[in-house]
Amino acid sequence: MLFVRKSYILPTAFLLSLIYLLFSSLPPAPEALDIDDREFSPPPKQNGGQIHWQKGREKHPIKSYIPLPTAAAPLPIPKIQHDFPSESWYRRRQRVNRQTAVKQAFEHAWKGYKKHAWLHDELSPLSGDNRETFAGWAATLVDSLDSLIIMGMTDEFEKALAALEQIDFTTTDATQINVFETTIRYLGGFMAANDLTDGKYPILLKKAVEVGEFLYSAFDTRNRMPQSRWQWTRTAEGLGIEPSRNTILAELGSLTLEFTRLSQLTNDSKYFDAIQRITDQMEAAQQKTKVPGLWPVMVNAEEMKFTDPRFTVGGMADSMYEYLPKEYMLLSAQVNQYKSMYDSAMDAIKDRLIFRGMTKDNQEVLFAGNAQAGMPSKEDLEHEAEHLKCFLGGMVGIGAKVFRRSAEELRIARGLTDGCIWAYDSMPTGIMPEIFHVSACDDMDDCKWDEKKWYRDVQRRLSKGTSAQNAQQEGKSLVKTHGLAPGMTDISDARYFLRPEAIESVFIMYRITGDKTLQDAAWRMFKNIEKITRTDYAHAAIYDVRDRHTPKLDYMESFWLAETLKYFYLIFSEPTLVSLDEYVL
């Protein structure tokens, strides 16, 4: 998780600005150097038979880096946060009590991780065992550093710092490295903690550079697009790599924040160069895809083809869109490219993906569905909602403020956020399912509850061929069989993975609007999650949100401590703690 203080983005020398003016128009394609221009490096070290990566000669080096944008002074970005008035004594007491409860949940899970899975990637919260899911470099420890700082757990933070020297980022038992996951959990974790502590602890930047240097080798391909599931031992042994013809969109397009911030902290443009080449390719393709403005779920990164017919803002695509306004802010509004790409994407999202769900109380709840290329109209949209899409409310809210877009988009942001709150409140456990389908309104502005339509929609979604004449009767039976809340037509994945996306948007919309009903919604969400996921060791994912006695699953991803509980903590904090006007999250 990356936290970047905006005020850190300071001017550099006039010479660097001049270089930017001279070279910013360079084409994104890399220029190869003669092999003699690079210093030869020895083969990788061997330690007990284990391969160790070390910085070596690139096969496809860059002749001139795209320079990191700098300016004499950061350009103004519109204010995001609400002007919060002073709170009453009662409201403050209530807020602090809630915040304390969140911190206690974090302390419980952190204690379990520290006791049973220290320096491993994840704690198994039922068995007390551990898991190595992200190369075995202590993902939960690194990813949670910023949460420890924010919650004032100084002693625990310093114990975690002391353990960092034991992590060796030159080797792993994993045969492939997920570049995206390694970037957000490790690189982001180190730099977030570094920025939150004003660079007080040099080991944080040192480790960030170690990870950055390691990951940079994944970009050493003919077109400089990264091999997203990097066969790192090939690189270590001096062999070539190429990007995949089946690359997940989010894994290709969601490296911008961390790599840009690393360039800002090190004054080394190569990291920014690496991701800016991806951005340039994405911009060039954006209006040429089968749904102009959007990118498909899968990309042929070897040939930079975008022919996949599937389009969504959910899993496998989400952060490609989320990072556009955030990168714009991180670069102090100096690169209009990210605004232009966001504008195009947002217009397409509104036109092709967003729909209103029909609810019994006629609440204005919005969701983003999935589109297929060739669909003639929005009526053919798949009305599938998922927890991963819940980031969208926060993104649209921030985009509306930062890019001064219409007031309508703040309303859309709130509707998307309320859609996720509604999904939580609709389940017996008070927890939203991973994936479900919704009965969509025919009219976004005028939508009244129609029980017969709901039953028909359920029958169409779940029927195995029964005659439409019996649609209502069969729909009513299917609702009972599948445990569907009014308005839902299917729950295709009833699990909950301790995900942060819903509370992230609730937190962001609270900071934007100051609406305290969002704090109350967050409290309901937290109480239900904490109660049903708690184990003796920590907290666990659950199997079925429709069942108050659901079995638990023996895993707890690092984002539970690094994001979910952090956002719950922040929504009950003073608004000045990690202000959206001071940090890019």
CB 387 within 8 A of CB 434: yes
* DSSP structure class, residue 237: T
Cα separation, 581 vs 325, whole angstroms: 13
The Cα–Cα gap between 506 and 512 comes to: 10
Element counts in the chain: helices (H) and strands (E): 22, 17
Task: Choose the catalytic residue: 87, 107, 132, 181.
Answer: 181
Alpha-carbon distance values, 512 to 180, 506, 509, 524, 573 (Å): 29, 10, 5, 20, 14
- Tell me whether residue 343 is one of the annotated catalytic residues: no
Q: Are 138 and 163 in contact (CB under 8 A)?
A: yes
The strand pair at 384-386 and 354-357 is best described as unpaired
Active-site residue identified among 58, 210, 220, 318: 318
Q: What phi and psi values does residue 291 have, to the nearest 5 degrees?
A: -130, 90
Contact 426, 392 (CB under 8 A): no
158 included as an active-site residue: no
Q: Which residue is associated with the tokens 């690094």? A: 562
Running DSSP on this structure, what letter comes out for residue 58? -
Q: Are 571 and 559 in contact (CB under 8 A)?
A: no
What is the rounded distance in angstroms from the CA atom of residue 287 to the CA atom of residue 298?
Answer: 16
327 is known as an active-site residue: no
Residue with tokens 């060791």: 537
431, 433, 477, 442: which is closest to 458 by C-alpha?
A: 477
3-state DSSP assignment of residue 35: helix
What span, in angstroms and rounded, lies between the C-alpha atoms of 481 and 475? 10
Report DSSP state, residue 560: I
Which residue is catalytic, options 434, 457, 544, 563? 434
Q: What does the alpha-carbon distance between residue 167 and residue 119 come to, in Å, rounded to a whole number?
A: 8
Q: Which of 317, 404, 408 is nearest to 368 (CA)?
A: 317
CB atoms within 10 A of CB 529: 27
- The answer to whether 487 and 356 have CB atoms below 8 angstroms apart is no
Residue 508 near residue 579 (C-beta atoms within 8 A): no
Burial tier of 334 (Cβ tally within 10 Å: 0-12, 13-18, 19+): middle
Number of C-alpha atoms within 13 angstroms, CB side, residue 324? 30
Residue 303 in contact with residue 316, Cβ under 8 Å? no
Give first-to-last CA distance, the chain, whole Å: 7
Residues contacting residue 75 through CB under 8 Å, at least 6 positions apart: 332, 333, 334
Is 563 considered catalytic here? no
SS3 of 465-516: CCCHHHHHHHHHHHHHHHCCCCCEEEEEECCECCCCHHHHHHHHHHHHHCCC
Could you tell me which of 421, 428, 411 has the C-alpha nearest to residue 504?
421
Q: Which of the residues are catalytic? A: 181, 318, 434, 501
